[in-house]
Amino acid sequence: MGIYASKEQISLEEKKALEKKKLQINYEKFQRKGSMLAKHPKGYAINQCKTLDENQKFKNNRPNTFDFSNVGVPRFSNKGISKEEDKNEYFDSLEILQLKIKQVVQLLRESKYAVVYSGAGISTSADLPDFRGPNGAWTKEEAGISGGFSNAEETKIPSLTEIVPTYAHMAIAKLMELGMVKAVVTTNMDNLHMRSGVPADKLVELHGNSFKERCTVCGKEYYRKEEIYEGMTLKCEVDQCTGTLVDTIVNFNEPIYQRDWDTAKEHSEKSDLSIVIGTSMRVLPSCLLPEMSIIKNGPENNHMVICNFQITPYDDSSTPRVFSPSDDFFYYLMQELQIETPTLTPKGENIKSLSFPTQPKSHHVDSQKLDPSVYNVNFRFLF
Ligand SMILES: [Zn+2]
C-alpha cells in the first residue's frame, strides 16, 4: 500500500511539474508578444516579416520573406488611436444584430467562395482569455492585474486538452460540411477548429497548433492528443524520411511557415466573402488576408464582414460591421439560415453550453454610439 501511495505521489508531483513547465512556456511566449506590441515602431511589421531576427529559433526551415506584391500597404499608417480606445468594447443591440445578420446571410447565399478568418475572440467562451479586451491577457498584464498569461498559475487558464469547441466553432464546421464556407484561416493554436470537425485540408493554422508537429524534411504534419512540448523530438514516420518532428507554434518575430502562408493566400485571393471573427486584426501578415480579394478584384463583388467587439483597422471595408460575441453572431446566423448546429463534436464532446443572446458586460458601449467617422479612418496600422 505504501509503495502505491508513494507512486501516486510521484506521478502527481510530475504532473504538477509538467503543468508548471507548460505555464512557463505560455508565460514567456505571451510576454514576448506583449512587449513587442507595446513598442510597435512604425513599419515594424513589414520589416520584421522580411528580415530574419538573429535571436529567432529557426527550427522548421521556415522562410523569412513574404510576398506583399498583391497587398496594399495600409493607408492609415500615420493615424493613431489612444490606448484606451483600443480597449473599448462595443456591442450591437439585438435588433441591430439581427438586421446585420440578414445582410450577412444574403452575402453568404450569394457567395461562391466564403472564407472564415478567426482569432482569439472565438475561443473566449471556451474560457481562453483573449489579448486586448478589458479582460484580455495583455490588458491585464499591462495594468498589473492578475489574469494575464503571466499569472496563469493563479487564474487557472484551463488546459487546452480540457476546453471544448464553442457554438461558433461548431456552426463554422457545419457551414463547411454544407459547402457554404470553403476554408478557415486561423491564428489560434488551441486546436478547437480541428476538434469541431473542420477538415485539416481546409484549415490553415497560420500561427501553428499546440497539438501539431511537422517534419523538418518532408513537411508531413502529425496531430497529437497532447500538447507538444519542447524536447519531444520524434522521428518522421514516412518511409526513407530522416526528418525529425518539431512543434508548429509561430511566435512573434518568427516567420509563418511558407506552405501555410501560400495556402492561406490562395484561399484569400479566390474568396468573394471574408467573415472575420474575434480578432482586432493587428497582427501581420495574417490581418492582410481578408481584404486581399477586395484590393485585388474590387469591392463590387467581394465583401468582408468583421464581427468583433473592438474596432479594427479594417472596419471601413466591412459591410456590415458587426459588434457582437462570436457565439451570438453564429447563433442568429444559423437561425436565419434555418440550419441546426450540432451540439456534439465529431469526437463526441459537448459544445460549451451558452444562452443567447449573451448578456453584454457592464463596460460594453452601445455600438450605435460609436461615430463611424471616427472608427472608419482614425487608425494607425498597428498590431
Ligand atoms: Zn518526414
Sign of CA dihedral 32, 37, 38, 39: positive
Q: How far is the CA of 251 from the centre of ligand 1 (A)?
A: 23
* Cell output for 24: 512557463
Centre of ligand 1 to C-alpha 248, Å, is 14
303 is catalytic: no
Cα(205)–Cα(167) distance, integer angstroms? 20
The one-letter amino acid at 255: P
Provide the strand spans (E) within 114-257.
114-118, 183-186, 203-205, 212-215, 221-223, 245-247
Sign of CA dihedral 222, 225, 229, 233: negative
- For the entire predicted model, the pTM comes to 0.75
Which residue in the list 169, 193, 207, 303 is annotated as catalytic?
A: 207
The Cβ of residue 305 has, within 10 Å, a number of other Cβ atoms equal to 25
The rounded Å distance from CA 24 to ligand 1 centre is 29
C-alpha 224 to ligand 1 mean position (Å): 16
Known binding-site positions = 215, 218, 236, 241
* pLDDT for 383: 36
Tell me how far CA of residue 297 lies from CA of 265, 267, 285, in angstroms. Answer: 14, 14, 20
- DSSP letter (8 states) at residue 367: G
At 83 the pLDDT is: 47
Q: What is the pLDDT of residues 256-294, one digit of tens each?
A: 788 898 899 899 989 999 999 999 887 777 888 898 888
Strands in 235-323 per DSSP E? 245-247, 273-277, 303-307, 318-322
Asked if residue 334 has pLDDT above 70, the reply is yes
State yes or no: pLDDT of 155 exceeds 90. Answer: no
Give the pLDDT band of residue 108 (cuts 50, 70, 90).
Answer: very high
The average confidence (pLDDT) of the chain is 73
From 302, 298, 342, 338, select the one nearest 319 (Cα to Cα).
302
CA 350 to chain centre: 21
**Distance of CA 353 from the midpoint of ligand 1 (Å):** 40
Answer whether residue 58 shows pLDDT above 50: no
Task: Determine which helix (DSSP H) or strand (DSSP E) holds 332, and give its type and residue range.
Answer: helix 326-337
**Residue 141, Cα to own-chain centre: how many angstroms?**
20
Q: How far is the CA of 191 from the centre of ligand 1 (A)?
A: 22
Q: H/E/C letters for each residue in 172-196?
A: HHHHHHCCCCCEEEECCCCCHHHHH
Which parts are annotated binding residues for Zn(2+)? 215, 218, 236, 241
Q: Domain 49-128+163-210+249-377 carries which CATH code? A: 3.40.50.1220
- Nearest residue to 150 via CA among 159, 161, 139: 139
The dihedral sign for the CA sequence 255, 30, 274, 191: positive
pLDDT above 50: residue 106:
yes
Q: Please determine, for residue 49, whether its predicted confidence score (pLDDT) is greater than 90.
A: no
Question: What per-residue confidence (pLDDT) applies to 373?
Answer: 59
Is residue 38 very low, low, confident or very high in pLDDT (cuts 50, 70, 90)? very low
- What average pLDDT score do residues 360-365 get? 77
Judge whether residue 305 has pLDDT over 80: yes
CB 194, CB 200: distance < 8 Å: yes
Does residue 6 carry a pLDDT above 50?
A: no
User: DSSP H helical segments within 181-303, as ranges?
Assistant: 192-196, 258-270, 292-297
Please tell me the least confidently modeled range out of 161-170, 188-197, 231-240, 318-327.
Answer: 231-240
Is residue 153 within 8 Å of 23, Cβ to Cβ?
Answer: yes
Bridge partners of residue 307, in order along the sequence: 277, 322
